[in-house]
Amino acid sequence: MVGNPDNIRRLEKKGVKPTAIRLLVADAILSAKRAVSLSDLEVILDTVDKSSIFRTLELFVKHHVVHAIDDGSGSIKYEICEGEEECTLDDMHIHFYCTVCHKTFCFKTIHIPFVEIPDGFSVESANYMLKGVCKDCAAHGHHAGDK
């Protein structure tokens, strides 16, 4: 089977059989170097059936291969989980949504701040989204508030 050996190991560790389609999707997400949507993956993997990509993403979320990001754009984005077992709160980091180019960026080195919550509540996931203008759009003269 052809595929990135790291992705083969990643899928196997998470209990996912590394089929050709699954490896293509994992490789595409990693190669993008940013969070990607189903639509992004359909363009990148134009020879792969849309429903196959969707089913693969659902499986990846279920097995903690990727985590889903709601950036408020109306399109869920996906990113590979770095953790060995599953996406934990420690794996969660800040995301940035550019209001000009509509891309979502992952700030992997900036973790979501710890928040003390009342007794009786337990946190399963956290989504910390910043919105503004990315550095590429700013370099082209766009500023916060531009659309």
Q: Could you tell me which residues are beta bridge partners of residue 132?
A: 98
The CB density around residue 56, as the number of other CB atoms within 10 Å, is 24
Taking only the tens place, the pLDDT of each residue in 86-109 is: 666 666 788 899 999 999 888 888
**137 known member of a binding site:** yes
Confidence at residue 112, expressed as pLDDT on a 0 to 100 scale: 81
**87 known member of a binding site:** no
Looking at residues 7-28, what average pLDDT do you find? Answer: 94
**98 known member of a binding site:** yes
**CATH 1.10.10.10 corresponds to the domain 5-139:** yes
Domain boundaries, the chain: 5-139
Using DSSP's 3-state secondary structure scheme, residue 32 falls into helix
Question: Above 70 in pLDDT, residue 116?
Answer: yes
C-alpha–C-alpha distance, residues 102 and 110, integer Å: 21
C-alpha–C-alpha distance, residues 59 and 65, integer Å: 8
